[in-house]
Structures are given as C-alpha cells and as structure tokens.
Amino acid sequence: MAVDWNTIREGDELPVLKKKPSVTQLVKYAAGSGDFNPLHHDFNFPQSKMLKSIIVHGRFKYAALGELVSNWLGHRGRIRQISCQYRGMDFPDREVTCGGKVARKWEEGGRKLVQLQIWTENDEGKKTTPGQALVELR
Amino acid sequence: MADTFALTPELEAAIGQASDPWTYEVTTTSVRAFARGVGYTDPVYFDTEAAKAAGYRNLPAPPTYLGTPIFIPGRSDDTFSSPREGQPRVAHGLKNVLDGGTEVEYLEDICAGDTLTGVSTIGALDIRDSKALGKMLIVSMDTKYTNQHGRVAAVLKSQVIFY
C-alpha cells in the first residue's frame, strides 16, 4: 500500500520492517557497499574478539531505514534528507526492527513535505539507531 | 583504549582540507548489488522495466547509496574501497574505528548510468570521553557528490569515531 498525501496524519506510524541479518547477509552488504571492515564478517579480527562478536554495519542499519521509508513511500515521493546516529551495536542473527513515525506534515512553496522520526530497535527494545528523514510527496 | 589523547596543531591543520575529486559510478549492477546487500524485495531496484514503470529513467540508487567509488589497487583503501589518494590525512594513530552517524541530503535523483564526482572536506575534529572505549576522536567529514551534468546531486555528512 503506497502512501497518500491526503490521508497522512502527524503521529501516523510507518509499517515496521523487520530484519535479522545473518553473517551471509552482512557479507552481501559488504560486497554491495564496498565496506570490507573485518569487524563485520571475521570473528578472529582483534576488534571483533574485543567485542566478543562481529557487529552489524551501522550503514546497513542506515540503509535499512532507507528501505523502511522507501517501502512506505512506494515511489510516490522522494527522500530529500535522511540521517541517523549509531548509538548501540547490533549483532548478527538478532532481530532489528525498523520503525518510523510522522513527526510533521506541511506544504511549503507548493511542495508537500513530511518529516519522519525513524529508528532501529533491537530485540531488547533498545533504540540503537535513531534518525530522521524529510520526504517530498508528489 | 587511549587514556590520553589530545588535538595537536598537526591534527587541527586537517580541518577544512579538501580531497582531490574521485569518481563514483552508479550502474545497474552496482544498484542491484547494494539493494541485494540491504535485502530489498522491491523490484524497482532490480528490474529496469519496473523502475521505468515507477517513473525513473533507470534503476534508482536505493536511499543511502551514493555510488561505488572506482577501485584501483594502491590508490584506493583496501578495506573501505574509498579513495586514499589525495585525501586529507588525520594522523591520529588510534587503531579502532566505529561509525558515529550519517546524513545524506539529496538535491537530484540518482539513477544507474550516473557518474558522481565526490570531494570530501574535513569539517571538525572533536574529542569525547566514553566509559567503555576511553578517549575517542570524532572526525566529521562532508562529501559533495556532483553528477555528470555538473549539478550537486547529494551531500553526505559523516562522523567517524576512532579510539
């Protein structure tokens, strides 16, 4: 279901996007993004040993937040700005839930704009990657 | 873990320094590889017909994907695939790296077939204390991506943590 400007209300929640990235998925992300930091695939890498695990790329979570917003928009608009902060680490084979909420809806110079709060939440309910997105609807 | 770490004039001299330009390619194959890496199922990022039906001129770059930097051994970073040559240097000597935060502002659509030219500038260096990680150096970098038509397509602001 693609989004419709007329029915968007401030406070609306975006349909959640659940991810459970396996090591293989992280390897695919490494290949797609070009980020081959061993911290994201090699358990014997010193920093992984220090953290007792490899960790999910922060940018994977950022990209997953992009997917959350893209799925919600259904190509009826464009992302103008998207940001996040990496506040907590996530680990492979653990569920990451991407969520979002309409913070503000307004028109400006004929442009239909929506500000979203977005975040990823780990399986203990901690928001590890809070962020924001500004989208413009057609 | 670093117990003591301070900004020296040598480090601070990096602030404001800009890199040489580097080319980032957006191709159908690179868009598919990124979308697959994230786990997209939306055909618009994989199937050019679906992309055109959705109003794009070719496969659109998924959000947060700003092209793949051209990789040349010796001139590119073997771990992060980003350019090494002509980049401002911050010789901090800290071993570990974590991502702090990322922001992209889009000014133009980015689709397969586009060629972006990226120029990075070091915006700020900050030191923060972390209970778990000790002294951390946060490097803030802005990268401006200009497309083949000479228009700025996106601006990336990133914060990288060294400890």
Say which CATH number the domain at B110 has. Answer: 3.10.129.10
CA distances (Å), origin B38, targets A30, A123, B73, B106:
10, 19, 26, 20
Name the band, by pLDDT with cuts 50, 70 and 90, for residue A39: very high
- Residue B87 covered by a domain: yes
Name the band, by pLDDT with cuts 50, 70 and 90, for residue A31: very high
Joined tokens for residue B134: 């000790």
- Residue B38 covered by a domain: no
Q: Which residues of A touch B71 (CB under 8 A)?
A: 34
Joined tokens for residue A43: 């358990």
A42–B contact, CB cutoff 8 A: no
Share of chain A above pLDDT 90, in %: 99
A22–B contact, CB cutoff 8 A: no
- Residue A2 covered by a domain: no
- Residue B23 covered by a domain: yes
Which residues of chain B carry a pLDDT beneath 70?
1-3
B30 Cα distance to chain centroid: 15
- Residue A4 covered by a domain: no
Interface A-B: count of C-beta contacts within 8 A: 110
Q: Which of residues 54-73 of B touch A (CB under 8 A)?
A: 54-56, 62-65, 68-69, 71
Bridge partners of B30, per DSSP, are none
Q: B100 vs A70: CB contact, 8 Å cut-off?
A: no
Per-residue pLDDT, A2: 74
CATH label of the domain that carries residue A130: 3.10.129.10
B126-139 burial code (b ≥16 CB/10 A, e <16): eeeeeeebebbbbb
**ipTM score:** 0.97
What chain B residue is nearest to A25 in terms of C-alpha separation? B37
**What residues make up the domain containing A16?**
9-137
A12 Cα distance to chain centroid: 17
Q: A66 vs B98: CB contact, 8 Å cut-off?
A: no
Contact call for residues A33 and B38 (beta carbons, < 8 A)? no
- Residue A3 covered by a domain: no
Per-residue pLDDT, B4: 76
Number of domains observed in the structure of chain B: 1
Minimal Cβ distance to B79: which of A37, A50, A85? A37
- Residue B61 covered by a domain: no
Q: B82 vs A34: CB contact, 8 Å cut-off?
A: yes
Minimal Cβ distance to B106: which of A50, A79, A85? A79
Per-residue pLDDT, B1: 58
- Specify the pTM: 0.95
* Pairing status of strand A77-85 against strand A127-137: antiparallel
**What residues make up the domain containing B82?**
9-27+67-162
B93–A contact, CB cutoff 8 A: no
* For helices A58-73 and B28-38, angle between their N-to-C axes, nearest 10 degrees: 100
Q: DSSP string covering B86-144, please?
A: TPPP-------EEEEEEEEEESS--BTT-EEEEEEEEEEEEEEEETTTEEEEEEEEEEE
Minimal Cβ distance to B54: which of A25, A31, A75? A75
- Residue A39 covered by a domain: yes
- Residue A15 covered by a domain: yes
Whether residue A1 is predicted with pLDDT greater than 90 in this model: the reply is no
- Residue B81 covered by a domain: yes
Left, alpha or beta for A12 (phi > 0: left; psi -120 to 50: alpha)?
beta
Whether residue A20 is predicted with pLDDT greater than 70 in this model: the reply is yes
Number of domains observed in the structure of chain A: 1
Bridge partners of B109, per DSSP, are none
B23–A contact, CB cutoff 8 A: no
B154–A contact, CB cutoff 8 A: no
